[in-house]
Amino acid sequence: MVKKKMEEKNKNQGLSKIVKTTFFVIAVPIITFGLYVILHGHLTPGGGFAGGAIIANLTALFLITFGRNTVKKPYKEFLLLLESLALVSLILLAFLGLKSTFFYNFLANTGNIFGRAISYGINSGYLSTAGTISLMNTAVGIEVFAALSLIIIIMYTGPVGGEDN
């Protein structure tokens, strides 16, 4: 009887210490690679969706290594807020181009934050070229990360009444 109780306690505490340390070690390259894919969406394949999915892997790993009960309610609320915030910023960015039309790329070809003009021909990609596309990619990446993490958490720990999408 004592053995059974100890087994249950172990199960909810996740995997061993080695795995937990490795998780922290491997989280850094995952985040970096994910951010690389997101930010270079206009230059290399990937973009918002793929990069967000890469970072969402981190939540799945987190759940596996740390057990079912370490995810508390504030984390879920935070993810919901993050998701809404990212989506709202996406549409607001689209609105900002409204003096011409919706979704107008008002940062391209100016000198501003992402505004360098594209040079033709063979060159290695310059990061600050694409204007609003990069900002939108970032917003989409954050949103995909939040949404997929929510889906994984809700599927793993049971429904609480959060939304599915």
Rule CB under 8 A: which residues touch another protein?
43-45, 47, 49, 80-81, 83-85, 87-88, 91-92, 94-95, 97-105, 118, 122-126, 151, 154-155, 159, 161-165
How many CB atoms neighbour CB 16 within 10 A? 11
Q: How far is the CB of 7 from another protein (least distance, A)?
A: 25
**Cβ within 8 Å of residue 165, ≥6 positions away:** 147
Shortest gap between Cβ of 20 and another protein (angstroms)?
A: 28
CB of 115 to another protein, least distance (A): 16
Q: Choose between 67 and 97: whose C-beta lies nearer to another protein.
A: 97
> Any residues with CB less than 8 A from the CB of 98 and at least 6 apart, and which?
104
Pick 12 or 162: Cβ nearer another protein: 162
Q: How far apart are CA 38 and CA 52, in angstroms?
A: 7
**Closer Cβ to another protein, 20 or 106, answer by number:** 106
Nearest distance, CB of residue 16 and another protein, angstroms: 29
Q: Which is nearer to another protein, 102 or 112 (CB)?
A: 102
Burial code (b: 16+ CB inside 10 Å, e: under 16) for 101-140 equals eebeebbbeeeeebbbeeeeeeeeeeeebbbbbbbbbbbb
